[in-house]
């Protein structure tokens, strides 16, 4: 089994992520892009969920501070909205949902998450998005302070992709 990008992906019309859940966005993307590629198509949606903020930024993680906001602007908005919250109210998790389709039919949806806390200020320079404020207690670091290998081992996306790989390798129908 090999993975290949969609030919001339940059010329393909983008999928508008307007669904209310990560699973619906992931499946919508996979179905959309399956129109441009035969075989299995894999797409994901992921983001940061803060229960104390009603689940925000959630499916709007990339657009939380506006469609063209920088990572720093998104983090600043998040920290501003969390000002005054302490203890368990700073709990958060990253979630990743992956959808696999063949043709116009969904054949698998898997997800995983990683729990942590939101710090009062950014720490570290690696990663992207909300990584500098996401404290992962198991490592004693923010996601921005993890090495690439550590991030691949612990992250929501790494965990979800390992789960989908097990599904794909375990199904004769999906390997064909």
Catalytic annotation, residues: 45
Classify 146 as helix, strand or coil: coil
CA distance 71 to 78: 11
Q: Which residues contact 118 (CB under 8 A, 6 or more apart)?
A: 50, 78, 79, 82, 90, 92, 130, 133, 134, 135
**Phi (first) and psi of residue 149, to 5 degrees:** -65, -40
DSSP 21: S
């Amino acid at each position: 089994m090999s993975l290949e990008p969609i030919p001339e992906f940059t010329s393909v019309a983008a999928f508008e992520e307007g669904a209310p859940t990560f699973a619906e966005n992931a499946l919508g993307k996979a179905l959309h892009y399956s129109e441009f590629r035969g075989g299995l198509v894999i797409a994901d949606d992921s983001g940061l969920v803060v229960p104390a903020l009603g689940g925000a930024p959630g499916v709007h993680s990339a657009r939380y501070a506006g469609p063209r906001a920088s990572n720093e602007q998104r983090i600043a908005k998040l920290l501003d909205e969390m000002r005054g919250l302490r203890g368990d109210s700073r709990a958060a998790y990253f979630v990743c949902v992956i959808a696999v389709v063949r043709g116009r039919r969904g054949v698998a949806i898997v997800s995983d998450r990683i729990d942590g806390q939101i710090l009062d200020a950014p720490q570290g320079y690696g990663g992207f998005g909300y990584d500098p404020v996401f404290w992962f207690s198991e490592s004693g670091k923010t996601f921005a302070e993890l090495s690439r290998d550590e991030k691949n081992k612990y992250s929501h996306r790494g965990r979800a992709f390992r789960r989908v790989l097990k599904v794909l390798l375990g199904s004769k129908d999906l390997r064909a």
